Amino acid sequence: MNELQELRRRARDIADLNGIGGLLLWDQNTMMPPGGAGARADQFEALERILHDQLTDPGLGRVLDALEPWAASEDPDSDDVRLVAVLRRDHEKAVRVPTELAAAMSLAAAHAQQAWLEAREKNDYGHFAPSLERILELQHRYIACFDGTGEFAHPYDVLLDDYEPGLTTAEVTSLFSVLQEELVPLVSAAAAAGEDGRVFPGHYPIEGQQAFAEALLGAVGYDPEHWRLDPSVHPFARSLAHTDVRLTTRWEPDDLAMSFYSCLHEFGHGLYEAQMSPSHYRTTLADAAGLGTHESQSRLWENLIGRSKPFCEWVLPVLRKHLGGHFDAQEPSDLYRAINQVRLSLIRIEADETTYNLHIALRFELELALVEGRLSVADLPDAWNEATHRLLGLDTPSIGEGVLQDIHWGAGMIGYFPTYTIGNLMAAQLWQGLRADVPDVDDAITAGDFAPLREWLRDNIHRHGRKFDSRELLRRATGEELSVEPFLAYLEGKLLDAGLLTAPARVPRS
């Protein structure tokens, strides 16, 4: 099979360039001197152009065509057959997009990211608006590349599909309709039952937070031989290969929750990358099924595990050891209640898991309106503030706490936000599946033994890489289709358990 060897060779180059792109991105957000931003944008553009040329190469199309009869006769779940399918999809999408447009999108995103950083510092939306205009203009040109394919029912579907293959505007609209309907009263009831004030009152020296994070990450499965942790404005995870995984967090002396839960969150992303099957290394299968699945992994560690009662029992002595003070007088039940408080707040990445999806609903609503042309870039801050008031009942005192709080739009990522909610829903379903399969999960967590959890996730999700899409992975792991009920039932159950709801607030959906 010379064709298969050629396909693997092509996949290897693409995978290596993606790994290199991961380094460019990681460095840009952690290490790069500010004055290097212009050159970095050029480097991204060059890399993007080369990657695009490789994906669109007619030779790739020919080798895919030549392999089609063979693939049809083989086990459809074998690695090689899936590699053919995945590369065909990438090739067919890429050939519709001119190289120059792909490069322009990459360049515009790099410039806009820098403008976003500067606009945040200056508290000046006007400094960012022209970059966002440019991003949107290019997104429209990108969408237009798929005119007439019949593949997408809505312009925004084109964007969604890049982050979560097959996800549609209609589905997302319907999911958010149910979630908003259920979450607004749940949030309202739980927020009224809780206390005011910060989750972790007090001041936590950064050295103590770092020692705690090291103990926390070490216990869940961070491996210093293969991982790094660095500070960045916006925490993120990026792997350059399954053997080189980089997490970032933000250290704030007055906000322990930021580093604590962002470390767990990014660990979940990192573990997905680290536990992909080594047999997929240097192929285009060594990638996530979709961003929904990726987010389900981060949310699982941050919330389903990290905010559970057994986790509180394990982590409280660790907190006491490294951060003392406040935690010395706490019982696990106090911690459990504190970290599950429902609090209406402005910042998505600081939001509790109950309100979180309302933040996403807001962003989905606004970016859909931008894409549909119902909202202008100039009117975006007002629309943001209005939606914040409508969904969360809050005023927005500054653009840093409002429209400029997230990097995504500045990074050219429109259609990305809904995958966070898909991830939350999947996480609840996977958690049900994991609990059904792994005996004594709670005891293992209480004992700080996270190996059985990592193994279940490796076997059911991580190792597959991009062989199956998110829905297929969910089906194989749980036997279920994507649904909102497990997530809502989980939320309500925990709020009741933690004493944050006095009585059931909702009727289970069938």
Query: Is the Cβ of residue 30 or residue 210 nearer to its own copies in the bound state?
Result: 30
Query: Is the Cβ of residue 43 or residue 113 nearer to its own copies in the bound state?
Result: 43
- Minimum distance, C-beta of residue 103 to its own copies, in the bound complex (Å): 11
Query: Is the Cβ of residue 10 or residue 134 nearer to its own copies in the bound state?
Result: 10
Burial class (CB in 10 A: 0-12, 13-18, 19+), 301: buried
Q: Please tell me whether residue 206 binds its own copies under the rule CB under 8 A.
A: no
Q: Please tell me whether residue 222 binds its own copies under the rule CB under 8 A.
A: no
The answer to whether residue 266 is catalytic is yes
Q: Which of 1, 5, 38, 504 binds its own copies (CB under 8 A)?
A: 38
- Residues 79, 209: Cα–Cα separation, whole Å: 42
- Of 27-35, 69-77, 320-328, 387-395: span binding its own copies (CB under 8 A): 27-35
Q: Would you give the binding string for its own copies spanning residues 223-252, x where CB under 8 A is met? A: xxxxxx-----------xx-xxx-------
Binding site annotation covers 295?
yes
Q: Which of 4, 32, 215, 233 binds its own copies (CB under 8 A)?
A: 32
Binding site annotation covers 265?
yes
- Residues 125, 10: Cα–Cα separation, whole Å: 43
Q: Please tell me whether residue 19 binds its own copies under the rule CB under 8 A.
A: yes
Alpha carbon dihedral 434, 435, 438, 439, in 10-degree steps, equals: 180
Considering only residues 85 through 144, tell me which ones interact with its own copies, judged by CB under 8 A.
Answer: none
- Minimum distance, C-beta of residue 214 to its own copies, in the bound complex (Å): 14
| Side-by-side strand order, sheet with 227-231 | 227-231, 244-249, 237-241
Query: Is the Cβ of residue 10 or residue 466 nearer to its own copies in the bound state?
Result: 10
b/e per residue 2-25 (b: at least 16 CB within 10 A): eebebbbebbeebbebbbebbebb
- Of 19-27, 254-262, 330-338, 409-417: span binding its own copies (CB under 8 A): 19-27
Query: Is the Cβ of residue 11 or residue 375 nearer to its own copies in the bound state?
Result: 11
Query: Is the Cβ of residue 239 or residue 303 nearer to its own copies in the bound state?
Result: 239
Q: Which of 4, 8, 49, 188 binds its own copies (CB under 8 A)?
A: 49
Distance spanning both ends of the chain, measured CA to CA: 50
List, in order, residues 6 or more apart from 492 with CB less than 8 Å away: 186, 501, 504, 505, 506
- Residues 272, 457: Cα–Cα separation, whole Å: 8
- Residues 406, 212: Cα–Cα separation, whole Å: 26
Catalytic residue (one of 45, 266, 302, 365) = 266
Q: Which of 40, 93, 467, 494 binds its own copies (CB under 8 A)?
A: 40
Binding site annotation covers 111?
no
For residue 440, count other CB atoms closer than 10 A to its CB: 11
Query: Is the Cβ of residue 182 or residue 273 nearer to its own copies in the bound state?
Result: 273
Q: Please tell me whether residue 46 binds its own copies under the rule CB under 8 A.
A: yes
- Of 32-40, 161-169, 259-267, 384-392: span binding its own copies (CB under 8 A): 32-40
Q: Please tell me whether residue 17 binds its own copies under the rule CB under 8 A.
A: yes
Q: Please tell me whether residue 58 binds its own copies under the rule CB under 8 A.
A: no
Q: Please tell me whether residue 331 binds its own copies under the rule CB under 8 A.
A: no
List, in order, residues 6 or more apart from 423 with CB less than 8 Å away: 291, 292, 293, 294, 295, 296, 297, 298, 299
Phi first, then psi: give them for residue 382, nearest 5 degrees: -65, -45
List, in order, residues 6 or more apart from 301 with CB less than 8 Å away: 220, 264, 265, 267, 268, 271
CA 394 to chain centroid: 25
**To which H or E segment does residue 241 belong?**
strand 237-241
Q: Please tell me whether residue 35 binds its own copies under the rule CB under 8 A.
A: yes
Q: Say how many CA atoms lie within 13 Å of 435 toward its Cβ.
A: 15
- Minimum distance, C-beta of residue 466 to its own copies, in the bound complex (Å): 18
Considering only residues 265 through 304, tell me which ones interact with its own copies, judged by CB under 8 A.
Answer: 281-282
CA 494 to chain centroid: 23
- Residues 93, 413: Cα–Cα separation, whole Å: 17
What is the DSSP secondary structure assignment for residue 509, as one 8-state letter? P
What are the binding residues for Zn(2+)?
Answer: 265, 269, 295
Positions that interact with its own copies (CB under 8 A): 12-13, 16-17, 19-20, 23-24, 27, 31-36, 38-40, 42-43, 45-47, 49-50, 223-228, 240-241, 243-245, 281-282
Q: Per the annotation, where are the binding residues?
A: 265, 269, 295
